[in-house]
Chains A and B, each alone.
Chain A
Amino acid sequence: MGRLLEVTDLQVCFNTPEGVVHAVNGISYYLDEGETLAIVGESGCGKSVSVMSILGLIPTPPGEILSGQAHFHEQDLLQLSERELERIRGAEIAMIFQDPMTSLNPVLTIGLQITESLMLHLHMDAEQADQHAAELLELTGFSQAAKRLGDYPHQFSGGMRQRAMIAMALGCSPSLLIADEPTTALDVTIQAQIVELALKLRDQLGMAIIWITHDLGVVARMADRVLVMYAGFIMEEASVFDLYKDPRHPYSLMLLSSLPRVDQRRSGKLRPIPGSPPSMLTESKGCPFAPRCSYVIETCRVTNPPLQEVAPGRRVACWVDVGKGE
């Protein structure tokens, strides 16, 4: 079908001293070239794991990929050897992470951290790499980029560091960029800058993006499609329009109504979702959201609803149709 990335039935668990944590429970999703997919959910719902496991970035003593396939350019990433994965990481699939202060090596220069993947993947020599690195920094909004190459991460502000990370990720013109909550640790104003930068670069370079976040505002700005996850399951998948206009899953509904909206009356109360996410240690029977759901019926507690296509490009995992109430 020519999809850029197709993930099928991914299951990941962690073997901890306290027990087995079922982080990702058989999820499937896809991504086309140039598309932006947002994955939203509360902390711990498995959104990061579902994406990092594809690149083999989950530490495999506690972590374990139980099953699944992840086809990227016709290759199943989960079956590749470490060396083959190394060739794809940073070159065709790049990642940026949440906390730019801890995600950059404090004792190496920014320049080195950018050029090392240029020299490794694109086989540039030092001079070419430096030049290209400077261009990348300019692209991400740095002035006097060439001088910046010799600076260390601690000399930058939070926003600058994140922009440097983006520059680092884009070095080899990847076809897929994965962003794991890149704005969560930043100031609101800086967040906006980063989001705008990402959008600009996306349009310029034509990359596909997977943007993981719990910030629905960013999703609205950036995404073409959205995946809503909870407790390691996908609850709903829809285009961003469809989701915001007409959420079908109770969880999505409650997520959206917990947001302040411009068109709401001032006196309208914000409604947070009661309760807290379940412990991922236990394999629960039935729908994981049942304890907190206001639309819950008996079937919900007994059997976990499968993710079904309810309209073209739209999937929901729920026994209840929130539009109709049955």
Chain B
Amino acid sequence: MTRYILRRMLQAIPLLFIISVVLFVLMMNMGDPLATLGGRRATRPADRERLTRQLGLDKPIYTQYLYWLIGNQWDHFDMDGDGTLESPGVRLGVLRGDFGISLVKRGTPALQVIWERVPNTLLLMIPAEILIVLGALIVGIVSALRQYTLLDHTITTLSFIGFSMPIFFIALLSMYIFAVLFKRWGLPYLPTVGMFDPSVGKTGLQVMWHMVLPLFSLTVISLAGYSRYIRSTMLEVLSQDYIRTAKSKGLPGRRMIMVHALKNASLPLVTIIGLDLPFLLAGALVTESIFAWPGMGRLFIDHLARTDVPVVMGILMIISVAVVVFQLLTDIVYAWLDPRIRYD
């Protein structure tokens, strides 16, 4: 199994490299970094020339890629315009966490801006993933065991509707019902804006209360989709010969399902969880925008609108790497769980 892990890790490296190139090319096209550097006013031609030299923008593209990736402390620049290269660069490079300085929050390193918001997004995503997995397991298994009954058909139809919905529909609908209508009807209603009520302060209870609607929106679609997947996996497992053998040994139904069937059915689920991260992130993006949740997704939208290249690219870089790493981890977990791979 260690061979498998090593192989996967080695595969991840060219992957990350290609991703970095793609992102770099994207970034180069994202607009003129010199346009606003001179402050509020448009950059003057003379300053433009100076800045070009200072930032190394006159260098060939692969050098610029290198600067972006590992910084330019190892190279020298002509800072004072006298033609001699005397000052070393100050950039650390993306690999060391230097994504540049935010253009919107002037002076703050992009990474810092991003990092402040990451916990808030995780606060939504992690509970969402747990709910999705547990919920899908329950719904999927029930649906599989009650195949062709009315319950199964109802669940199937609801699932289809569930994963056909655009996420903003769920968000807006739940907002409408549980906030607007409930308020109108005098029922206790759920908050729809932000992470906590400013007048009350950032308490645990406040945050949890505010989390309900965003979490719900984030969970429903994936839950509906995965319950279908679990259902079909479960049905496939239940038709296997070893289930028949288990039954012939007189094992009661519950043990057959929970021990024999479930262990087999849950293996593909691990892989699916790994593949789900990009969608969860996308969902977080939309959800945070609607509910004004101060997370990374909302940060992305806000700063994209204002062309804050360092922050936007930083976010993209971080989540791409996160996806690669996460998939690597789930592959390893899968290999560990499946005895056919673990003991090879």
Q: Number of residues in B with C-beta < 8 Å to the partner?
A: 24
Q: Is A154 an interface residue (CB 8 A)?
A: yes
Closest chain-A Cβ to B23's Cβ sits at a distance in Å of 40
Q: Is A255 an interface residue (CB 8 A)?
A: no
Q: Is B53 an interface residue (CB 8 A)?
A: no
Q: Is the CB of B244 within 8 A of A117?
A: no
Q: Is the CB of A152 within 8 A of B343?
A: yes
**A208, B339: Cα distance in complex, Å:** 36
Q: Is the CB of B343 within 8 A of A155?
A: yes
Q: Is B320 an interface residue (CB 8 A)?
A: no
Q: Number of residues in A with C-beta < 8 Å to the partner?
A: 34
Tell me if B's interface is mostly helix, strand, loop or mixed.
helix
Q: Is the CB of A57 within 8 A of B248?
A: yes
Given contacts A116-B255, A152-B343, contact A105 B249 (CB under 8 A): no
**A116, B248: Cα distance in complex, Å:** 13
Question: Given the complex, which residues of A lie within 8 Å of B18, measured CB to CB?
Answer: none
Binds B, one of A90-98, A187-195, A283-291: A90-98
Given contacts A99-B241, A102-B240, A106-B339, contact A57 B264 (CB under 8 A): no
Question: Given the complex, which residues of A lie within 8 Å of B246, measured CB to CB?
Answer: 105
Question: Given the complex, which residues of A lie within 8 Å of B250, measured CB to CB?
Answer: 85-91, 117, 120-121
Closest chain-B Cβ to A111's Cβ sits at a distance in Å of 12
Q: Is B247 an interface residue (CB 8 A)?
A: yes
Question: Given the complex, which residues of B lie within 8 Å of A87, measured CB to CB?
Answer: 250
Closest chain-A Cβ to B99's Cβ sits at a distance in Å of 44
Question: Given the complex, which residues of B lie within 8 Å of A165, measured CB to CB?
Answer: 245
Given contacts A61-B148, A97-B244, A97-B245, contact A105 B260 (CB under 8 A): yes
Given contacts A99-B241, A154-B339, contact A107 B263 (CB under 8 A): yes
Q: Is the CB of B251 within 8 A of A116?
A: yes
Q: Is the CB of A152 within 8 A of B242?
A: no
Question: Given the complex, which residues of B lie within 8 Å of A152, measured CB to CB?
Answer: 339-340, 343
A107-135 interface bits toward B, Cβ cutoff 8 Å, 1 = contact, 0 = none: 11100000011001100000000000000
**A229, B231: Cα distance in complex, Å:** 38
Q: Is the CB of B242 within 8 A of A106?
A: yes
Q: Is the CB of B241 within 8 A of A103?
A: yes
Q: Is B259 an interface residue (CB 8 A)?
A: yes
Q: Is the CB of A107 within 8 A of B248?
A: no
Question: Given the complex, which residues of B lie within 8 Å of A223, measured CB to CB?
Answer: none
The 8 Å CB contact of A94, one of B241, B249, B252, B267, is B249
Closest chain-A Cβ to B239's Cβ sits at a distance in Å of 8
Closest chain-B Cβ to A87's Cβ sits at a distance in Å of 6
Question: Given the complex, which residues of B lie within 8 Å of A57, measured CB to CB?
Answer: 244, 247-248
Q: Is the CB of B242 within 8 A of A102?
A: yes
Q: Is A207 an interface residue (CB 8 A)?
A: no
**A165, B340: Cα distance in complex, Å:** 19
Question: Which residues 294-344 in B have Cβ within 8 Å of A in the complex?
Answer: 338-340, 343
**A90, B247: Cα distance in complex, Å:** 9
Q: Is A168 an interface residue (CB 8 A)?
A: yes
Q: Is the CB of A94 within 8 A of B248?
A: yes
Q: Is the CB of A103 within 8 A of B245?
A: yes
Q: Taking each of A57, A105, A121, which has the highest tally of chain B beta carbons within 10 Å of its own beta carbon?
A: A105
Sorted nearest first, the 3 A-B pairs with minimum C-beta distance are: A89-B250, A90-B249, A90-B250
B residues lining the A interface (CB < 8 Å): 148, 240-242, 244-253, 255, 259-260, 263-264, 267, 338-340, 343
| Given A103-B244, A105-B246, A107-B267, 6 additional A-B pairs, CB 8 A | A57-B244, A86-B252, A97-B248, A103-B242, A108-B263, A165-B245
Task: Identify 19 residue pairs between A and B in the complex whose beta-carbon atoms are under 8 Å apart, listed by A's number.
Answer: A57-B244, A83-B252, A89-B249, A91-B250, A97-B245, A99-B241, A102-B240, A102-B242, A103-B242, A106-B339, A106-B340, A107-B263, A107-B264, A107-B267, A107-B338, A108-B260, A116-B251, A121-B250, A152-B339
